[in-house]
Amino acid sequence: MMRFSDIVSLSFLNLRLHKTRSLLTSLGVIFGVGSVISMMAISKGAERSALSQIESMGIDKIIIHTKKPHFDTTSGSSGSNSVSAVEDYGLDIRDYQFIKTMENVHHITTVRNTRQPITRGETRLDLKLCGVSKGFMKDTSCHLTSGRWFNDIDFSNAATICVIGQNVKRKLFPLGAKDVVGSNIRTGTASYRIVGIIANDNGTSLPEVGSPNDMIVIPASTDMAIYGNYASESQGRRSNKAILVDYDVMLVNVANLEYIDNTSKRLQNYLDKAHAKTKDWDMIVPLDLLKQRERTQKIFTIVMGAIASISLLVGGIGIMNIMLASVSERKKEIGTRRALGAQKFDILFQFLIETVILTTLGGCVGIGLGLGLSEIVKRYAEMPTEASMTNIIGSLLISSFVGVVFGTYPAWRAAQQNPIDVLRSE
């Protein structure tokens, strides 16, 4: 019986002598593993991005937001050129007072879009001026990059100050401006002094309002003192539409996450009755979104695993075919070695080692190809990717396993060759 090191050395020698055939044999595994690694990296990156956005909303929250209903435009108007109608809809102070007293509600953070135009020169920018309650920064997973957040005195005195999102700074101030804290922002008839800059790195976006990075936020008391309950929505150069909205978003923080489903059902029942005439609200439960996303991801992972199995199966069949052809081609070598004393096990083990080496090396090259493809997608398509070490090691082990499974039969066929018959035929 030959030594293991001798069999391995002989296997590498045969592979080097037939480089083209060895490359073609391992191509199926290379592309199979490469596609699996790249697809799983893209999938994992998309999953992580989506989950981080959902988690940034806070799984201990129920998000209720105002939704504009369809008004009957044929019912007439006030006849004024400046105000064509007053639209009164959405979440109001009565909803806030009731929800605040509900069991399992810890606190509520409110957001109201003043719908004031934010301009730079004559250009209107996609920014929003919002009145918020004190917990806004924490409940939207924002952090300060400069300055400070509002304090109790700011709310009690209705201070004319604001905190801006990081995109607001970029759009309203000259490029290269470093510290804009202390500067003033004018919107319509009001002017606000900037006391802080916030940033949200998780992609949080509040329904109907948008990202905190695109907001100029002022204390809710300041919003009420300056604009009252009314906000004006521009309808063109000559007319504005008066809108009566108390709250655009309520972030309802629950005290006990275990009972969040029950709390959300009670909220829905209340709002259905309180807003029975107009469906002017909607509700999002981030925990439900998170569970749904996880279920979807499990299904996607199963599908990806099935695709990977098929691709590696095809690669394995290709390997088996080429190795069977190799057995027929190398009959003289097999017969000579058997005549010189090599046992069946030596022949079987040599061909099996050759196949495992091919598939393992193919798996390594495929891993490199998959990582390269995922990096290209990340850089040029600007999609998040995340290569998992578990997937990399798993792909390498599976490629070796494919070599064992699909290399066994060709190796067995080689070992069964009769040396006398083989040499006579040659």
**64, 283 contact by CB (below 8 A):** yes
Beta strands 240-244 and 161-165 are: unpaired
pLDDT for position 363? 86
Q: What pLDDT is attached to residue 76?
A: 43
pLDDT at residue 353, rounded to an integer? 83
What b-and-e string marks burial along 340-367, b requiring 16 or more CB atoms within 10 Å of the CB? Answer: eebeeebbbbbbbbbbbbbbbbbbbbbb
- pLDDT (tens, 9 = 90+) of the chain, 426 residues, equals 667 676 677 777 777 777 777 787 788 788 888 888 888 888 778 777 766 666 666 778 889 999 888 755 544 444 444 444 567 788 899 999 999 999 999 999 999 998 888 887 777 888 999 999 999 998 888 999 999 999 999 999 999 999 999 999 988 887 767 788 999 998 877 899 999 999 998 778 888 899 999 999 999 999 999 988 666 554 444 445 677 888 999 999 989 888 888 998 999 999 999 998 888 899 988 777 777 777 777 777 777 767 767 777 777 787 788 778 777 777 777 777 777 777 777 778 777 888 888 888 888 898 899 899 888 988 887 777 888 788 788 878 887 888 788 878 877 877 777 766 656 665
The domain limits of the chain are 4-53+292-425, 68-277
